[in-house]
Amino acid sequence: MARTTAGLPDGVRITDYISLGVVAKTFPKAMVMDILERTGKTSARQRDLPAHVVVYYVIALALYMQSSTREVLRCLLEAVQWLTNQEVEPKVAVRSSISQARIRLGWEPIRLLHDEIVHPIATKGTPGAWYRQWRVVSIDGSTLDVPDEVENKEAFGTQAAPGHGATAFPIIRFVSLCEVGTHVLFGTRMAPYAVGEVTLAEEVLPLLKPDMLCLADRGFYSYRLWKLAHETGAELVWRLKIGLILPREKNLPDGSFLSTFYESAADRKKSRNGIQVRVVEYTLEGLSDAESSYRLATTILDPDQAPAKELAALYHERWEIESSFDELKTHLRGRQITLRSKTPDLVKQEFYGMMMAHFAIRGLMHEAALKEEVDPDRLSFLHAVRVIRRKMARIASIPPSAQIGIS
């Protein structure tokens, strides 16, 4: 049976499905062109698909995971045509030309654009984004399946399934920081599946800032990572394994106590290279899925600045990052089992395009939440995706950068 190309319903225009203004506002053409220039990826000659249009196309791929690559390009070019008042019918390249354009662009400019623009967006007026004076963020990791191609298997690897060999698809692993109040994922790094989350965290944690308070689960604790994160000036509240040796050096009025981290038993014995921490231990009564006990360590040594009960409640906000991962893997990816790129470089390109699409949607949701004076958590990510796909933003909402045009 011949395959049917996935497309949008007959008679539907891009102006019914996507506000290019959302993407153009978040990733202005001037910034895109600057990054292309710095990475040597500007188009050497006029092409049907110049490099900066391909950048927007890579982001659009994540908004239309269920459509074919040519259909996504048709949508994008119709939007460009509308914005620039062009009457000429847009020329949609064949699949091979699209692939060649993506290969010419590479993945480095996409990651650089991601790194320079994707960042926390909460203002002081954003509900749920702050604990006292600190911006609350968390760190965690997840995985995504990619197409079952030889190159992808060699580059990314697969997960061993006990008794059944390897999993069907190659897998990429990624670690992100998440601004808890807005669900914005930033500082993301990806790698082959065999690279552990702790290893990736060494690249992510240095992106913390002094105004942040970082939450992390017990799987991330090590002396090295704690020191790396603490040196950024950020405050930390990380869960620890119960078996970690932490003598009570000083009891504090709120029930917490001071102790010291050491890198090795030899350092502990000689009391050298220690890092003083405050430890909070607690239990959760009456919850069937709660664990028997919890132990947190924090860099905030003064209990008046962050009482133990408040930190215990705050730590459980860490799970907000799981909602962000679900937004990526369920609502953006939809029924698509894997990413669509068939080579490692294009997988990386597509992945960072997906992260930028998520950021653009979350930025739109944050603006809406501020206007309505509600917590961004109360807004539906799925609904926002549908609005961006199906509703044409009013002309007045298209930013000046988009009015200049992206063609």
Mean pLDDT for 401-405 is: 42
Decide: 104 and 123 in contact? Cβ < 8 Å.
Answer: no
18-22, 26-30, 141-145, 285-289, range with greatest mean pLDDT: 141-145
Query: Are 80 and 53 spatial neighbours (Cβ–Cβ below 8 Å)?
Result: yes
- Burial (Cβ within 10 Å: 0-12, 13-18, ≥19) of residue 110: buried
| Per-residue pLDDT at 93 | 63
**Residue 380: band (very low, low, confident or very high) from pLDDT cuts 50, 70, 90:** low
Res. 343: pLDDT tops 50: yes
Per-residue pLDDT at 9:
44
What pLDDT, on a 0 to 100 scale, did the predictor assign at position 361? 86
* pLDDT score for 134: 97
The highest-confidence range among 64-68, 74-78, 137-141, by mean pLDDT, is 137-141
Residue 182 has pLDDT above 80, yes or no: yes
Tell me the average pLDDT across 147-176.
Answer: 85
Residue 379, pLDDT score: 62
Does residue 157 carry a pLDDT above 50? yes
pLDDT for position 255: 95
Q: Report, in this order, helix, strand and coil percent for the chain, each rounded to 5.
A: 45, 15, 40
**pLDDT of amino acid 214:** 98
Angle between helices 344-372 and 95-105 (to 10 degrees): 80
Which is nearest to 238 in space by CA: 274, 202, 277, 211?
Answer: 277
Tokens coding 73:
């390009």
pTM of the predicted protein model: 0.84
CA-to-CA separations, 280 to 19, 128, 130, 311, in angstroms, rounded: 47, 22, 20, 8
Burial class (CB in 10 A: 0-12, 13-18, 19+), 179: buried
Model confidence pLDDT, tens digit, residues 108-136:
999 999 999 999 999 998 988 999 999 99
Residue 305, pLDDT score = 97
Q: What would the pLDDT profile of 10-26 be if each residue is shown by its tens digit?
A: 444 433 334 566 787 88
Confidence tier at 404 by pLDDT (50, 70, 90): very low
Per residue in 297-318, pLDDT tens? 999 999 999 999 999 999 989 8
Token representation of residue 60? 């659009």
pLDDT, the chain, mean: 82
pLDDT-wise least confident of 102-111, 200-209, 326-335: 326-335
Q: Mean pLDDT check: name the lowest of 69-73, 82-86, 161-165.
A: 82-86
Q: What is the DSSP string of 25-77?
A: HHS-HHHHHHHHHHTT-S-SS--SS-HHHHHHHHHHHHHTTTS-HHHHHHHHH
Q: What is the pLDDT of residue 128?
A: 87
Output the pLDDT for position 159.
Answer: 85
**C-alpha–C-alpha distance, residues 30 and 58, integer Å:** 17
399 and 25 Cβ atoms separated by less than 8 Å: yes
- Mean pLDDT lowest for which of 74-88, 198-212, 251-265, 354-368? 74-88
In the chain, % of residues over pLDDT 70: 74
> Is residue 160 very low, low, confident or very high in pLDDT (cuts 50, 70, 90)?
confident
C-alpha of 348 from chain center: 14
Cα separation, 183 vs 382, whole angstroms: 13
Residue 370 CB neighbours (<10 A): 15
Closest CA to 354 of 212, 142, 156: 142
| Predicted local distance difference test score (pLDDT) of residue 395 | 31
